[in-house]
Structure 1
Amino acid sequence: MERVPSTSLEPPAAPTAPAAPDARPARPARVRRGARDRLLTPLPAERPWSWLGPLLVAAVAGGIRSWRLGTPGELVFDEVYYADQARDLLRHGTEVTDAGAPEFVVHPPLGKWLIGLGEQVLGYDPVGWRVVVALLGTLSVLVLARAGRRLLRSTLLGCTAGLLLAVDGLHVVHSRTALLDVILGTFVLCAFACLLVDRDRVRERLAAALPLDAARYGPPLGLRPWRLAAGVLLGAACATKWSGLFFLAAFGLLTVLWDVGARRAAGVRRPWGGALLRDAAPAAASLVLTSAVLYVTSWAGWFAAGPDRAYGRDWAAGQPGSWLPASVRSWLHLQAQMLQVNQDLSTPHPYESNPWGWLVLARPVSFYYETPEPGTPGCGDADSCSQAVTGLGTPALWWAAVAALAVLLVLWAGARDWRAGAVLCGVAAGWLPWFAYQDRTIYSFYAVAFVPFLVLAVVLVLGMVVGPPGAPPRRRRWGLALAGAYVLLVVVDFAWLYPVLTAEVVPYGSWYDRMWLRSWI
């Protein structure tokens, strides 16, 4: 919610005598102007740089993510599951074992369908099964730059957010690996960007309807296509990994709270009542119902496949009758099985980690490690060489994000800064639910889904360092210098880590020098 002045927005009673010629303007006009100012914060003017800047940053990100995309030239980490299952979906519409029997899986199919799209176009090889993930990772940089521009009302800060995401090590590793987490994160970020546009559109509609001083609940807000688009994207996130449900719940609450804040700023007498009566049900339909429809649709291949291909397709045949079709009952039973397995997964793994350590990079995951023979290009004269892909975020970014989140907590709790609240909502949805799974096998790379929000936290604080446009020039120059130096530090840090993120062959000593903490090995 946004902070609003505590003065009443009710107009005064009509005067009993004509006002003097030099009287102050009528209060309703002042109230209208004040409400409009509270509702609307102008965006930066759309100029060529508004798109060229984000596109340039995205091009840099695309180059980083596509260069030597086929290295390593084999399946790494969980690619052994997803690349193969993606090929199965292309061939059979559902996942099967190597023998052709139905295969039980623990994740919905949409992300694997997208991986399969690359395999369909470029073939079943490392580039084929990684290319779509690389494209989505690049797209997320572009979306973050534009969303950051809208959130922070600054093209420069938006481009800075895109650049920092472009050089985050964890995001780069996942954008170059056929796993589901960058696909999930891209859908979540795009949904967040749509909700930001929806927030601005709602406020523009309320501003056009002013004055609303005497309105009890405020007007209906009409069709909201951007919120509907967010529902589609959140459904796609859930159809990729079930952790998308956390973002669906958090963003659903966020958009209703934004509606409350908008109605209060417009002068509605009962903003909570207005939001609950006029906005909550449409929000549920746009987000929850739309997500559910898309999630079920993503299983079309399973429904179309016969019992000899789709796992559990004939389960209902041996069960008591019901008004539900047998295929639907079998599908619901499969969802329950998947839920049980996801909750009970507790097989020890050397790279599992507790969520407490994720933000400080306590235990990154080694996706790939080989020891090439001496004399291999890149080894030089070293007696021992290393070739590694380490799921490690850029420390200069992540460690600063911990401090930035603390600042945002103060801004949100103390000043009710809606931007801080929005960023914290994204981090909380991606991070906090995992604390409920202390006995489950979980990994630090799950954090890639909320890395864009960590970046936004850092950039919001950088904006405070730079200062507002009206700040004294000297203060702005120093602020820009400090912010620029920090961004340069992150870029240098990423460049230093780049060889151990992308499977470059280096002397063993060079690899070891980059393992700053022993827990990284």
Structure 2
Amino acid sequence: MAVTDYSHKAFEQPEEGPRDKTPAVSLRDRLVPPMPGSAMWGWLGPILVAAFGGFLRFYRLGTPHSVVFDETYYAKDAFATVKYGVERQFVEGADKLLLAGNEHIFKQCGSVGECASYVVHPPAGKWLIGLGELIFGANPFGWRFTAAVLGTLSILILARTARRMTRSTLLGCAAGLLLSLDALHFVLSRTALLDIFLMFWVLAGFACLVVDRDRVRTRFADWHEAGSPAEGPRLGLRPWRLAAGVCLGLATATKWTGGFYIVAFVIMTLLWDAGARRAAGQPRPYGSVVRRDLPLAAAWMAVVPVFTYLLSFTGWFVTDKGYGRNWDQATSNGPVYFVIDSLRSWFDYQKQVLTFHTGLEQSHTYQSEPWQWPLLLRPVAFFYESPKTCGTASCSWAILGTGTPIIWFAGLIALIAMIAWYVATRDWRAGAVLLGYAAGWLPWFYFAVADNRTMFMFYAMPLVPFMILAIVLGCGLIMGREDPARPNRRVAGTAVVGAFVLLALVNFGWLYPVIAAEVIPYDSWHARMLFDSWI
């Protein structure tokens, strides 16, 4: 993994159209810069980084043997979903029963729908949590298992995506390593909440679109080298864009905020298409995008996510036990009326959920505002107890849902740098990172102002991969390109980047006892509280 991987011209300059007279770089190299280094290391490096992150997440995964924060909702709803197809009501003391190994926690009801549970998030994330419970049982390890799996896979995906964006195996591995060392990602990868699943599907969708971008530009390079026939290149069915639609549908089927990414990424990928057409010399590139790219993009990035979202409710449609399932009673017999009445009942349920989300104003001890999230001003205490097993009079046993400070504060600086870089160069990477961050962050300001909605810092989880991509792009600028006339410049830049990654590792290690539920003296716990608002 030589640092010279990062020296390709495509990173230094934004792509230009046919007016670009630079003879040193061919159109193909501007459209699709060659991937440097060994293909083996391109996979092995990210896999090793993901294995390191996976070890951190699976080690003591069942600790604490307790119901942590909102696991009290999602662990039980997930168990009901895989058992009955829908969420169900539980007997009093269900958490204690599960922790004691007793899975008989559902209420016994005499009539259809009497035990239906009103839930306000779609079921995709709960299906995944329930998968771990099916394999390992309804216990802390079981309901946290798939969160750890997808958290680990997200490290691999980010490393590969960063490598593709920077054409550097070294920086790709750095991105994966930083994600593995982020404390918020670590905590949510070890907790049965929905936000890690939302982040995973958003990141996977973005990664698919980055691959699709390279595939499309390869076709344009082939078309140009074939003499630019008038009919234009055939872009095909674009399966990576279809895969992105499925991923973003699953994100929305986990939490509704995934829908913001659908809108943002549709715009982003169409602008990428226009840029490719312009760079290849096609006249009226935006008109060509509307005529040739928009119809299939609408199918793959709008229709497919809607269908995926509906499919996640399969358990609700095929049973009669879901909340609101029979709101619209069939007025006539026959399958057509059954489908229509079922959809009407489902739409009414979605309207009720929308009313809940826009009207959620109940105060909470750990609530925070969106502007506080990047500054880590009010994290959530997922778990805290005071056992007597640390050899001192006062002990702490905690899980604090915060980010790794050095990563988040560097990320804030890097995002500001990305704004300046994009304004100066219109580089697509800076624009994509900023759009991905904004799509997950800015809508919450509207909810804070218009609805005064209760919010928590871990809602920022989908922002973290884009924050780390901003850091990695900034690291590339610090390292600079390999220049024989200035060899020390590259060495110094690489040393600065290496020192930053090492500090992130040290910072994560310092926080580890209070994010991984280790029993430590109270004074040691208190020393790790960066701000008074962390307590």
Q: TM-score, normalised by structure 2?
A: 0.89
Classify the secondary structure of the residue corresponding to 2:160: helix
- 1:105 to 1:216, Cα distance in 2 relative to 1, 3 A: farther
Match of 2:257 in 1: 243
Matched, 1:81 2:73: yes
Q: Is the 8 A contact 1:57 1:141 kept in 2?
A: yes
Matched, 1:347 2:362: yes
Amino acid paired to 1:76: V
Classify the secondary structure of the residue corresponding to 1:437: helix
**Separation in structure 1 between the aligned mates of residue 32 and residue 123 of structure 2, nearest angstrom:** 41
Match of 2:329 in 1: 317
Instruction: Please give the per-residue CA displacement for 1:352-396, whole angstroms capped at 9, x wherever unaligned.
Output: 1000010010100110110112xx1xx23x210101100010000
Kindly state the Cα deviation for residue 265 of structure 1 after the two structures are TM-superposed.
Answer: 0.3
**Separation in structure 2 between the aligned mates of residue 469 and residue 32 of structure 1, nearest angstrom:** 16
Kindly state the Cα deviation for residue 35 of structure 1 after the two structures are TM-superposed.
Answer: 3.4
Q: Is the 8 A contact 2:18 2:280 kept in 1?
A: no
Q: Is the 8 A contact 1:236 1:294 kept in 2?
A: yes
Matched, 1:70 2:62: yes
Match of 2:89 in 1: 97
Matched, 1:423 2:433: yes
Kindly state the Cα deviation for residue 217 of structure 1 after the two structures are TM-superposed.
Answer: 8.6
State which drifts further: 204-213 or 476-485: 204-213
Q: Is the 8 A contact 2:202 2:251 kept in 1?
A: yes
**Separation in structure 1 between the aligned mates of residue 231 and residue 453 of structure 2, nearest angstrom:** 46
Matched, 1:447 2:460: yes
Kindly state the Cα deviation for residue 470 of structure 1 after the two structures are TM-superposed.
Answer: 3.6
Q: Is the 8 A contact 1:115 1:133 kept in 2?
A: yes
Match of 1:412 in 2: 422
Instruction: Please give the per-residue CA displacement for 1:416-442, whole angstroms capped at 9, x wherever unaligned.
Output: 011101111111111111111110001
Say which of 520, 529, 533 aligns to 1:506.
520
Q: Is the 8 A contact 1:217 1:270 kept in 2?
A: no
Match of 1:56 in 2: 48
Matched, 1:466 2:491: no
Classify the secondary structure of the residue corresponding to 1:315: coil
1:173-184 matched pairs, under 5 angstroms: 173-184=187-198
Amino acid paired to 1:407: A
**Separation in structure 2 between the aligned mates of residue 155 and residue 229 of structure 1, nearest angstrom:** 24
Q: Tell me, which stretches of 5 or more residues in structure 1 are unaligned?
A: 10-26
Classify the secondary structure of the residue corresponding to 1:499: helix
1:394-413 matched pairs, under 5 angstroms: 394-413=404-423
- 1:32 to 1:217, Cα distance in 2 relative to 1, 3 A: farther
Kindly state the Cα deviation for residue 46 of structure 1 after the two structures are TM-superposed.
Answer: 3.8
State which drifts further: 319-328 or 359-368: 319-328
- 1:4 to 1:216, Cα distance in 2 relative to 1, 3 A: farther
Kindly state the Cα deviation for residue 288 of structure 1 after the two structures are TM-superposed.
Answer: 1.0
Kindly state the Cα deviation for residue 6 of structure 1 after the two structures are TM-superposed.
Answer: 7.2
Match of 1:127 in 2: 141
Match of 1:15 in 2: none
Say which of 329, 335, 342 aligns to 2:344.
329
1:482-497 matched pairs, under 5 angstroms: 482-497=496-511
Amino acid paired to 2:82: L
Match of 2:103 in 1: none
State which drifts further: 453-462 or 91-100: 91-100
- 1:125 to 1:214, Cα distance in 2 relative to 1, 3 A: closer
Classify the secondary structure of the residue corresponding to 2:130: helix
Q: Is the 8 A contact 2:64 2:517 kept in 1?
A: yes
Amino acid paired to 2:350: Q
Kindly state the Cα deviation for residue 469 of structure 1 after the two structures are TM-superposed.
Answer: 3.1
Kindly state the Cα deviation for residue 222 of structure 1 after the two structures are TM-superposed.
Answer: 1.7
Amino acid paired to 2:401: G
Q: Is the 8 A contact 2:148 2:190 kept in 1?
A: yes
- 1:319 to 1:466, Cα distance in 2 relative to 1, 3 A: farther
Classify the secondary structure of the residue corresponding to 1:316: coil
Say which of 512, 517, 520 aligns to 2:531.
517
Q: TM-score, normalised by structure 1?
A: 0.91
- 1:319 to 1:151, Cα distance in 2 relative to 1, 3 A: farther
Amino acid paired to 2:366: Y
**Separation in structure 2 between the aligned mates of residue 234 and residue 88 of structure 1, nearest angstrom:** 25
Q: Is the 8 A contact 2:18 2:279 kept in 1?
A: no
Instruction: Please give the per-residue CA displacement for 1:447-499, whole angstroms capped at 9, x wherever unaligned.
Output: 11121111111111011111113463211111111110011001000000000
Kindly state the Cα deviation for residue 39 of structure 1 after the two structures are TM-superposed.
Answer: 1.5
Amino acid paired to 2:435: C
Kindly state the Cα deviation for residue 218 of structure 1 after the two structures are TM-superposed.
Answer: 4.1
Matched, 1:304 2:296: no
Say which of 171, 180, 190 aligns to 1:166.
180
Amino acid paired to 1:456: L
Match of 2:170 in 1: 156
Q: Is the 8 A contact 2:18 2:281 kept in 1?
A: no
State which drifts further: 187-196 or 153-162: 187-196
Q: Is the 8 A contact 2:17 2:278 kept in 1?
A: no
**Separation in structure 1 between the aligned mates of residue 331 and residue 364 of structure 2, nearest angstrom:** 37
Amino acid paired to 1:47: A
Aligned residue-pair number: 494
Kindly state the Cα deviation for residue 33 of structure 1 after the two structures are TM-superposed.
Answer: 7.6
**Separation in structure 1 between the aligned mates of residue 214 and residue 421 of structure 2, nearest angstrom:** 21
**Separation in structure 1 between the aligned mates of residue 318 and residue 76 of structure 2, nearest angstrom:** 20
Match of 1:41 in 2: 33
1:203-242 matched pairs, under 5 angstroms: 203-210=217-224, 218-242=232-256
- 1:519 to 1:206, Cα distance in 2 relative to 1, 3 A: same
Amino acid paired to 1:133: A
**Separation in structure 2 between the aligned mates of residue 287 and residue 55 of structure 1, nearest angstrom:** 29
Instruction: Please give the per-residue CA displacement for 1:287-345, whole angstroms capped at 9, x wherever unaligned.
Output: 11111111101101000111xx1110111128999976111100011111111111111
Identity of aligned residues (%): 51
Q: Is the 8 A contact 2:17 2:280 kept in 1?
A: no
Amino acid paired to 1:449: P
RMSD: 2.2
